[in-house]
Amino acid sequence: MSLLMLGWFGLFPVGVALGGALVPVLGPVLLFPIGAAISASAIVGALTQREVRQL
């Protein structure tokens, strides 16, 4: 459980800072699909694990 908490609370500020830095460069129109693709790949990756599917 502590690893999940580290993943959420520890990496969230990093992701927000990275997104904030990329918006002026790429623009929100391009950044939203990139973020959606990253989220979708994380979900698909998690669903490949048997333990997650059994929840």
Q: Is the pLDDT of residue 10 over 90?
A: no
Q: Is the pLDDT of residue 5 over 90?
A: no
Count the neighbouring beta carbons within 10 Å of the beta carbon of residue 23: 13
Average pLDDT score over residue span 29-55: 88
Q: What is the pLDDT of residue 18?
A: 92
More confident residue, 43 or 53: 43
* d(C-alpha 7, C-alpha 15), whole Å: 11
Average pLDDT score over residue span 19-46: 92
Q: What is the CA radius of gyration of the chain?
A: 14
Q: What is the pLDDT of residue 36?
A: 93
**Overall residue count recorded for the chain in this entry:** 55
> What are the residue ranges spanned by the domains of the chain?
2-53
Q: What is the pLDDT of residue 1?
A: 66
